Structure 1
Amino acid sequence: MKTFRFLLALLPPLLTAATILAGPQPGDVFREYSWRPEGKWQRVTGPETTEPRARAFLPNAVNDIVIDDLGKAVDAKIVTSTWNGAAAEEIGINDRKIVVNVGKNHDLSYDEFPVPLEFIRQGTNTVHTHSTTEHHGIEVQWPGMVLFLRLDEPEPRP
C-alpha cells in the first residue's frame, strides 16, 4: 500500500514534466538563426549542381595556409572533422590530390591523412575539396582543415 501511495504522489509532477518537456506544440512559432563566417562555409558541392540551396555555397571554399619555413619539416598530415553528406571525391593541396572519399557516409567523422612533403611549398598553400554531388559531399567542421608539420628539431625541455 505504501508503494501505491508513493506512486500516486509522483504522478502529478511526472504529468506536469511530461507536458513541459513535450517539445514544440502545433501553432508554436520559432525563428531560426544562422551564422555565416566571412567567406564561405566549408560545404563542398559539385560545381554543376542546379539545386538552389547547394548553389549558395559555390564556389567551394579553400583554405590558404602560409608556411614560413619548410627547412626542418620531416612529415606532414591534414587533420579535419567532417560531416559527410555523400562523398568528397577529392581533398588536396596546391592542386594535387591527397585523398578521396573522406569520412563516413551521413555521419560525423574525425579524419587525418598524410600529405607528401613535396606537395607543400614555402609560402601560401591552398587546401581544397571537390565533390560532384548535386547537393553536397562533405561539410568541414570547425576549426577547418588543419595542416600539421613535424619538424626535425628537438623540443626545449624545462
Structure 2
Amino acid sequence: MSSASTIAFNRKTATLYLPAVTLDGNTEVVLRNLVAYESSAASGPLVLTRYTELMNDIINTDVDVPLLRKWGVVLNHMKKRVDEVAKPWNDMSRPVQHSKVPTMDKVIEEMNRYYDGRWRIKTKQFMRKYVLSPWKMFTFLTATSMLVLTTL
C-alpha cells in the first residue's frame, strides 16, 4: 500500500486519488491487527484507521470492487467472490476510537462539498426532503390545490 498522504481529490476532473492496496488471504487479519496496534500505541492521528473508514465508506456494493480493481486501487490476489473482497473493509466499520486525520478529512470535505453542490444531487435531496415524504407530499398537494382554487 502506498502512503495515505497520497489521497487527494481533483475538483476539476472530479477524481479521487487513492493509494493502491493489495488484498490477499491475510489482509483482514493484518488490517485488524494494525488498526488495533495503531490505536493503542499512536499518540497522533490514526491514519490507518481513518483510511479503513474511508475505504469502508467507498466500498458499499458489489459494483464498487470491480471499479476499484479496474482503476488499480484494489489489487485482488484472492480467489474469492466480489462481496468477499469487500469484507475486510466493511468488517472494519467499528473503529476502536474515532479518528481525525486533518489531511484526509480535508479531502473528504472537498469531495462532499463537490458532490452536494451538483444540481442533480440538490434536486434529489429536495425531492426526498419535501416531496416524497407522504405527509409533506400531502401538504404540498393541498397547498398547491388551494392556490389553484384561490386563483380560479
Alignment TM-score > 0.5, same fold: no
The TM-score with structure 2 as length reference comes to: 0.22
**Greater relative contact order (Cα < 8 A, sep 6+):** 1
The TM-score with structure 1 as length reference comes to: 0.22
Task: Look at both structures and tell me which one has the larger radius of gyration over its CA atoms.
Answer: 1
